[in-house]
Structures are given as structure tokens and as C-alpha cells.
Amino acid sequence: MSTDIQSILNKLGINASNAAYSTGSNWGVELNANTLESFSPVDGKLIASAKVASAADYDAVVHKAQEAFTAWRTVPAPKRGEIVRQFGDALRENKDALGTLVSYEMGKSLQEGFGEVQEMIDICDFAVGLSRQLYGLTMHSERPSHRMYEQWHPLGIVGIISAFNFPVAVWSWNTALALVCGNVCIWKPSEKTPLTAIACQHIIAKVFKDNDIAEGVCNLVLGDREVGELMTNDGRIPLISATGSTRMGKAVGAAVGARLGKSLLELGGNNAIIISEHADLDMSLIGAVFGAVGTAGQRCTSTRRLIIHESVYDAFTAKLVKAYGQLRIGDPLDQNNHVGPLIDTDAVAAYLDSIAKCKEEGGNFVVEGGVLSGDAYISGCYVKPCIAEVQNDFKIVQHETFAPILYLIKYKTLDEAIALQNAVPQGLSSAIMTLNLREAEQFLSAKGSDCGIANVNIGTSGAEIGGAFGGEKETGGGRESGSDAWRAYMRRQTNTINYSNTLPLAQGIKFDL
């Protein structure tokens, strides 16, 4: 482990061996022996380990959270916003350290690690404003001297289950909104990135402590799928917000649905950019390459498919091949590199398997893939971004492979391109590159993209926190982050007040005694 990383771990309060859970500033007791070991995909080294929460640990956390909720829900929303404002400031102070740890533990580039922490800061700023804008509607009653309105109340405990690829931002999207709405949170991060989660818990716990707020408002439980299942089956958690694969989302949706709880699902994508004959090809190239190789193709919004007009297909493919030849693959902490490692060797195996399946189905690789070896790639997690010419209905093209494999598909008409873009099970992000207004508007219209995100002259990858984020079909239908996504974290109550001297019934019904 390099000295730099050690000092970052020290700054963020991470020891060689960490406990299973935390309800506040102190780590819970270590009740069981199961241990998660976090190895960096950058250099394959063990960074630190952490205990897995047992069922008893988990239960203790839920009790603490329930207790904390009784007080937190009575704190005025703008005062809750003030706590979130301080959390945003604490993130500003820790941006370099946390961003570096994100890069080292998850493998994304340092710039993207810092960007992820910036996204956390941005959502805090958004939530502070929101804390004064949790508006309900008022409506006119059909009865005289009656007043009707609706108001929004907190739900209770929000369970947050998150994926490895945005190890801290997704938690903060949920947490900042849930907190200003008056909820308490229990977070189960990915078992692949426990240390960035511990760092976040330390940062937020200090803010609560400095404000003399009792422990239990923000809680962390570490573990794998089984700890997640404790949450999804737990009737004490009214909302589960889960981010991860479609496979996971189907299990979570079924478990939470079976107890009639609420779930907010943010699942896999299979995102395409349509490159029209009216596109600015240089701009399209940047959007396509960043979308496909950024975070080594491990974003839910990564560009997986390019649907290219036949008249520009050859020229654009030649540009792509040239650009791929210039990509520098290596240590993501070195800012000269474009592409870092995959998360682990299982992901490398899935990448190789997808390449083999694509070839079996008739895919033609114009840029070949492969695993890199040698001292600079000692972790075994570095792969070459590759490009294949395919048909959209290949089984492998319909599937989200979380790796830098880009599929090229040719089209003749815009109707055909939109149909191809929509002809996958997922519906997260989509884009068209065109300078033609008619094409752009058709793509955005009701007969256009069926995705939760549809962009013009921007790639599929990356989103600002101000908009609602999420997707349709097998992406799960959830919306997080900006716009009115906060409503998912609250319960709506309709109130009717009678200030007359009589009790008139609705719809003019007579009931005289």
C-alpha cells in the first residue's frame, strides 16, 4: 500500500480491520467472525477488512434507527436542511481524500472519483433548498366552510442498498433527500466497496455529533446479499431504495412487494447513441468514446450501442478505431490514463465470456479485446476496450455486460434507428447526435426514445443532480435525485377541515338522525 493511500485511510478514519456496522460516531461491537476484505483493483493489494453484520447486529441497528426517528421527524425540515448543509461542507473538506479512496477502492479515474464526491456536494446543496420546498397542494372543497389540502410526512426508515460502481454518490442522493424529508437511513453498500462507505459514515456521523443529535439517524451495515435480504424482508423498513443489477432488482422488488412495502429501483441499462447523418461527427466521437470507456464501461449509463446512419458508418467507425488506438489504459490514479481496471477478476471473466458469445453469434470485432498483463496490470483487472459490429437482436447485445464492449449497428431511417434503440429490455439512458431539429424532436417525442433519460448532442453517460434520474422497463422505474424525486421518500396525507356549524357529507349525501 503506498504511503499516500495510508494517509488517506488515516484521514478518513479507516483501520486495517473495521467493525460490522455503525449507528453513529462509534463503531458497533464486533459480534461475528465473517469478514469482507477489500482489495484494490488498481494494484490487487488488500486495503483493509471489515466485519459483516450478523442478524443480531442488524436488529440492533434497526432498533436504534426507530428510536432516532421519533426525534428526527419532529425537527423542522429547514433545520434538517441545515444539517445536510453542514454535511455538504464536510464533504468539501474531504473531497480529495474521499475521491482518491473511491478511485483506489473502485478503480475509476481520479477525476471521476472527485466528480463523484462533487455530485454528493451538489445533492446536499439541492436538498438544503428542498428542505424549504416540500410543498403540498391545496384544493377547493365542494362543501362550504371546508378546507382541503395535502401534506407530506416522512416514512420512517429508508433502507438504501447500493452498487459498487457509484460507491458513495448513490448513497448521498438517497440520504440527502431522505434526511430533509425527516427519515432516518440504513445503508448497505456493495460488499465490493465497504471502505468508501465507512469513510462516508465517519464524515456524516461527525456532523450529527457536532450538532448534539442522538446516534441512529444515519446507519451503516456491512455485508453481502444476505444483509440486503434482511432489509428487504423487514416490515420495519417502509422504503427500500435499491441500486444494482436487474437480477437483484427483481429479487428486491418481489420481496418488498410481498410485504406491500415501497421500493425505488435503479437497475441496469443498455444505452445507445444514435449517430445521425446530420451529426457533428467530432462531437459524437467524444460522447461515444467517453460513454463507452469511462469508468471502464461500468456506469449504468455507459454507452453500450452505437446506432449509426449508413451514410456516415464507415467514416465514423474509422474515427472510433483511431481514437481507441490512442487510449491509455492503466493506474486510474495517474491522470494521464483514460481507462482504469474492472472491479475484480469475476468482472474480467464476464467481459471475456461476452466477447466469446458475441463472436459465436457472428459479431465482427473491429477493435479486439483482451486482458492486459505485466507489472502495471498486476491486479489482473485491466482489459482492452473493444468494438464489435453486431445485429441488435444478438442475445449478448440485449444483455448488459458491465465492461468496455461497444456494439456498432447500422441504420437507414430514423424510425428504424429509434426502434432499434428501444428494442432492448432495459430503458435507462439514450441519446441522438444530430443538428437536425426535426430528428431531435422526433427522438424526444412520445414516439421516440422509451428511456428515462433522452439526450440530444450529449452522450448517454453522466447526469446532473437537478433532474430526476432513473429508467423504465427492466431499469426498474425508480427516480432519484432532483426534480420531484423527493416525493418517493414521503407519505402523502390529504386533510379536510370543517370549520362550519354543520356536518355536510360529500356528494350531497343526506344522513339525518
Residue 225 as a binder of ligand NAD (CB under 6 A): the answer is yes
Residue 36 as a binder of ligand NAD (CB under 6 A): the answer is no
In single-letter form, the type of residue at position 21 comes to Y
- Catalytic residue among 105, 116, 191, 266, which? 266
From the list 2-10, 228-236, 333-341, 379-387, the region that binds ligand NAD by CB under 6 A is 228-236
Q: Encode 274-293 in three state secondary structure.
A: EECCCCCHHHHHHHHHHHHH
Residue from 38, 201, 243, 481 touching ligand NAD (CB under 6 A): that is 243
Segments in 94-213 forming alpha helices (H): 95-106, 110-130, 169-180, 194-210
What is the layout of strands, in order, in the sheet containing 138-139? 138-139, 146-154, 490-498
Q: Rule CB under 6 A: which of 148-207 touch ligand NAD?
A: 161-166, 170, 188, 190-191
Residue 248 as a binder of ligand NAD (CB under 6 A): the answer is yes
# of chain residues touching ligand NAD (CB under 6 A): 30
Give the contact letters, 393-412, x = binds to ligand NAD (CB under 6 A), - = no: -------x-x----------
Residue 228 as a binder of ligand NAD (CB under 6 A): the answer is yes
Q: Is 389 exposed, middle or buried (0-12, 13-18, 19+ CB in 10 A)?
A: middle
| Grid cell at residue 249 | 432488482
Nearer residue to ligand NAD within complex by CB, 39 or 166: 166
Does the annotation mark 266 as catalytic? yes
Residue 251 as a binder of ligand NAD (CB under 6 A): the answer is yes
Tell me the residue number closest to ligand NAD, measured at CB.
228
Identify whether the C-beta of residue 204 lies closer than 8 Å to the C-beta of residue 12.
no
Residue 229 as a binder of ligand NAD (CB under 6 A): the answer is yes
In single-letter form, the type of residue at position 239 comes to L
- Between the alpha carbon of residue 444 and those of residues 237, 370, 414, 448, the distances in Å are 37, 37, 12, 5
Give the contact letters, 438-477, x = binds to ligand NAD (CB under 6 A), - = no: -------------------------------------x--
Residue 224 as a binder of ligand NAD (CB under 6 A): the answer is yes
Residue 378 neighbours by CB under 8 Å, 6+ apart:
43, 44
Nearer residue to ligand NAD within complex by CB, 26 or 398: 398
Q: How far apart are CA 54 and CA 21, in angstroms?
A: 9
Residue 267 as a binder of ligand NAD (CB under 6 A): the answer is yes
Q: How far is the CB of 207 from ligand NAD (least distance, A)?
A: 24
Residue 300 as a binder of ligand NAD (CB under 6 A): the answer is yes
Identify whether the C-beta of residue 385 lies closer than 8 Å to the C-beta of residue 327.
yes
Q: How far apart are CA 224 and CA 326, in angstroms?
A: 38
Residue 22 neighbours by CB under 8 Å, 6+ apart:
28, 198, 201, 205, 219, 220
Q: How far is the CB of 188 from ligand NAD (least distance, A)?
A: 6
| Grid cell at residue 420 | 432499434
Give the contact letters, 66-105, x = binds to ligand NAD (CB under 6 A), - = no: ----------------------------------------
Residue from 428, 440, 453, 490 touching ligand NAD (CB under 6 A): that is 428
Q: How far is the CB of 47 from ligand NAD (least distance, A)?
A: 18
| Grid cell at residue 374 | 505485466
**135, 187, 130, 127: which is closest to 163 by C-alpha?**
187
User: Which residues are part of the catalytic machinery?
Assistant: 266
Residues forming contacts to ligand NAD in the complex (CB under 6 A) are 161-166, 170, 188, 190-191, 224-225, 228-229, 232, 243-245, 248, 251-252, 266-269, 300, 400, 402, 428, 475
